Amino acid sequence: MSINKIIGYILLVLGLALIFWTLFQSYNIFTDKTSAPLVFKTQTEQAVGSNNSFDLASQINQAVRGQLDQILPAATITKILNLVAWSLLSFILIIAGGTVSRIGVRLIK
C-alpha cells in the first residue's frame, strides 16, 4: 500500500468525521440540547444615576424600547442571529469536509 493511499484514507476519514460532527452539533443545537455559539450578545442597559430633570428624549427612547420589547424581545433577535451564524459556519464546515474527503478519494484512486 502506497503512502498516497494511506494519506487518502486518512483524509477521507477526517473529512467524513468533520461532516458528521457538524451534523451532530447542528442536531443538538436545533433540538435545544445545547445552545448555539454566542457570536452576538444582548447589550445590557446600565443605570446612569438618577437625574431630576425630565429629559424628553430619554423618555421617548424608553417608551419606544418598551414597545419594541413587547413585539420582539432583544434576546429573541440575538438568538436568531446566533442560529444564523451557526448555520453559516456549519455550511462552511460541511463544504470543507466534503472537499477534504474528495481530495482523499482522489489520492486513493
Q: Is 81 within the bounds of a domain?
A: yes
Query: What is the number of domains present in the chain?
Result: 1
Cβ–Cβ < 8 Å for 35, 44: no
The pLDDT assigned to 27 comes to 95
pLDDT tens digits for 74-105? Answer: 788 888 999 999 999 999 999 999 999 999 99
* Domain hosting residue 12, numbered range: 3-36+57-108
How confident is the model over 34-54, as a mean pLDDT? 68
Our measurement of the distance from residue 52's CA atom to the centroid of its chain's CA atoms, rounded to an integer in Å, reads: 43
The span from the CA of 93 to the CA of 23, in Å, is 10
Query: Which grid cell sits at 43?
Result: 447589550
User: Higher pLDDT residue, 43 or 99?
Assistant: 99
Whether 44 shows a pLDDT value over 90: the answer reads no
User: Higher pLDDT residue, 59 or 84?
Assistant: 84
Q: Is 49 within the bounds of a domain?
A: no
The span from the CA of 97 to the CA of 11, in Å, is 9
Q: Is 42 within the bounds of a domain?
A: no
Position 69: which residue type? Answer: D
Whether 48 shows a pLDDT value over 80: the answer reads no
